[in-house]
Amino acid sequence: MAMIIDRRVDGRNKSAVNRQRLIKRYKRQIKKAVSEAVTKRSITDIGSGEKVNIPTRDVAEPVIHHGRGGVTERVYSGNKEFVKGDQIERPKQQSGQAGGGEGSNSGEAEDDFAFEISKDEYLDLLFEELALPNLVKKSSIVKQASKSMVRAGFSNTGVPANLNLIRTMRRAKGRKIAIAAPYRQLLSDLRNELEQELERTPTNEARIKELREKIGVISAKIASVPFIDTYDLKFNQYIAQPKPVTQAVMFCIMDVSSSMSQETKDIAKRFFILLYLFLSRSYEKTDVVFIRHHTSAEEVDEQTFFYSRESGGTIVSSALKMTADIIRQRYPINDWNIYAAQASDGDDWIDDIPLCSDLLSNTILPLLQYYAYVEINNNGHHALWKAYESIEQRFESFAMRQIASVEEIYPVFHELFKRKEK
């Protein structure tokens, strides 16, 4: 019975390397398809995989043809319209071509190359160029810092899973050579002497018999050297090393008042789902605090934040006060990098707007690394936007953008959180 061991890289998933090569080669086309897909998805499936189409012209491979050279003449059968020297016009584009591709000006068409990318590949491409701005490590090591196992040399003892096969075999071979070296030299001398005795005339049978017995004994001693010994075993050694953790928290603040239409709320939820996927995908130790507000604010869980329906009046300052209170109670600024994102249609009580400006300028922004405000409407800017404009001019850590339609969600999100070049 023969047993085949596949030691090739990706032996069980042989297409993985080719798949990554394909994604790398057509990254521009795939990223374009991914960014367009964000606007077409529902809130519930925004983080799933995606089917990507690559135009046939982009996957065509260049081919070198060798011409005949010189001047040649050809005769094409079925020609009833042209004579030598006539110029033939390019065929006109035809409608109703077979296949799924668009008609070409050559009268032919081919289907685009289509393939599926997984959820992980989709999110990697979606958030590739994004990062939390001003991520400064305020505490090099936190109280409950995680630990990671790191290589720490080799050991003569260990579990079979940590056996270093290469070093073990190297030591075994060196030991065998060292132990057998004197016997091999003696065996070589005995064989040379036996050849000389066999060539003599007359032969000395007693000496020949004695030499052959010695050769057998020495060969047995060489063969008895074990292939591998416990002395040869070498194991990879690992130790637990504390891993410094940079702590960050993101406050998601959303207006759910009656002035926010259901379409506007869906756009806000899409924006925050993108933000939540980005944080959970890119940062292992990032807390997310969900705050929604109408006339009053409340901290809710993820499910309630994204999928519950509630309406009321609008008092934005209630959410800002709750944000400041939570920071003071749970997130000391010396230990945490603090971020916030706010989505609203811009409506607020006139008497509440000065209080919002004061809370942001004097209480919240001095504690934060970054604050992003998104106004969702297509009817011009409202009063809250105008108040925030003066704040944007005074604080580099404050950014504001407007979203008028679903198609603008990802471009605005990308602009707010694009990784800054150093």
Side-chain-side CA neighbours of 168 within 13 Å: the count stands at: 18
In 109-261, where does DSSP find H-type helix?
A: 119-126, 165-199, 205-223
The more confident residue out of 262 and 325 is 325
Strands 113-117 and 297-300: unpaired
Q: Which residue has the higher pLDDT, 74 or 369?
A: 369
Which pLDDT belongs to residue 75? 67
Phi-psi region of 78 (alpha: psi -120 to 50; beta: other; left: phi over 0): left
Higher local confidence (pLDDT), 328 or 33: 328
What is the C-alpha to C-alpha distance for residues 235 and 156, in angstroms, rounded to an integer? 6
CB atoms within 10 A of CB 365: 19
Domain annotation covers residue 297: yes
Contacts of 87 (CB under 8 A, 6+ apart): none
Structure confidence by residue, pLDDT tens digits, 50-104: 666 666 665 666 677 777 777 777 766 777 777 777 877 776 765 544 444 444 4
CA distances from 347 to 3, 78, 393 (A): 72, 75, 21
Q: What is the mean pLDDT of residues 265-274?
A: 83
- pLDDT-wise least confident of 94-98, 167-171, 215-219, 402-406: 94-98
Pairing outcome for strands 297-300 and 286-293? antiparallel
Asked if 271 and 406 sit in the same domain, the reply is yes
What pTM, to 2 d.p., does this model score?
0.57
Q: What is the pLDDT of residue 104?
A: 43
- For residue 66, is it within any domain? no
Residues 264 and 412 in one domain: yes
> With bands split at pLDDT 50, 70 and 90, how would you rate the model's confidence at 327?
very high
pLDDT (average), residues 337-345: 89
Residue 61 has which token pair?
A: 């491979």
Do 184 and 302 have their domain in common? no
Q: Tell me how far CA of residue 5 lies from CA of 9, 10, 170, 183, in angstroms.
A: 12, 13, 22, 36
Structural domain includes residue 422: no
23 and 172, same domain (yes or no): no
Which of 326 and 51 is assigned the larger pLDDT?
A: 326
86 is a domain residue: no
**355 pLDDT tier (thresholds 50, 70, 90):** very high
Q: Alpha-carbon Rg of the chain, whole angstroms?
A: 37
DSSP state at residue 92: P
What is the residue whose two structure tokens read 């065996």? 187
Mean pLDDT check: name the lowest of 85-89, 120-124, 385-389: 120-124
Within a domain: 243: no
The mean pLDDT value for 250-259 works out to 88
Alpha-carbon distance 26 to 52, whole Å? Answer: 11
pLDDT at 283 over 60: yes
Structural domain contains residue 75: no
Total tally of structural domains belonging to the chain: 3
- At residue 34, the 3 state secondary structure works out as helix
The stretch 346-356 carries a mean pLDDT of 89
Q: What is the pLDDT of residue 105?
A: 44
pLDDT above 60: residue 9: no
pLDDT of 356 reads 92
pLDDT of res. 238: 84
In-domain check, residue 82: no
Same domain, 405 and 270: yes
Q: Taking residues 394-412, what's their average pLDDT?
A: 87
- Does residue 178 share a domain with residue 42? no
Q: Which domain holds residue 286?
A: 248-417
Domain termination site, one of 203, 237, 271: 237
Last residue within a domain, chosen from 237, 271, 289:
237
The average pLDDT across 257-278 equals 82
Look at 114-123, 189-198, 236-245 and tell me which has the smallest mean pLDDT.
114-123
Q: Any idea what the CATH number is for the domain that residue 323 is in?
A: 3.40.50.410
Mean pLDDT of 243-262: 81
For the chain, the average pLDDT equals: 78
356 and 377 within one domain:
yes
Res. 385: pLDDT tops 70: yes
Instruction: State whether 347 and 409 are in the same domain.
Output: yes
- What string of H, E and C letters represents the secondary structure of 297-324? EEEECHHHHHHCCCCCCCCCHHHHHHHH
How many angstroms separate the CA atoms of 37 and 31, rounded?
A: 10
Domain boundary among 202, 237, 272: 237
Q: 207 and 317 share a domain?
A: no
pLDDT of residue 53: 67
Confidence category of residue 298, pLDDT binned at 50, 70, 90: very high
Average pLDDT over residues 98-118: 53
Q: Which residue has the higher pLDDT, 375 or 159?
A: 375
Tokens 């994604």 locate to 23
Nearest of 177, 259, 273, 264 to residue 225 by alpha carbon: 177
Structural domain includes residue 336: yes
Supply 110's token pair: 């081919």
Same structural domain for residues 299 and 204? Answer: no
Do 218 and 256 fall within a single domain? Answer: no
User: Are residue 257 and residue 228 in the same domain, yes or no?
Assistant: no
What is the per-residue pLDDT across 139-197, written as a single tens digit (0 to 9) for each? 434 445 566 777 788 888 888 888 888 889 988 888 888 888 888 888 888 888 888 88
The enclosing H or E element of 251 equals strand 248-255
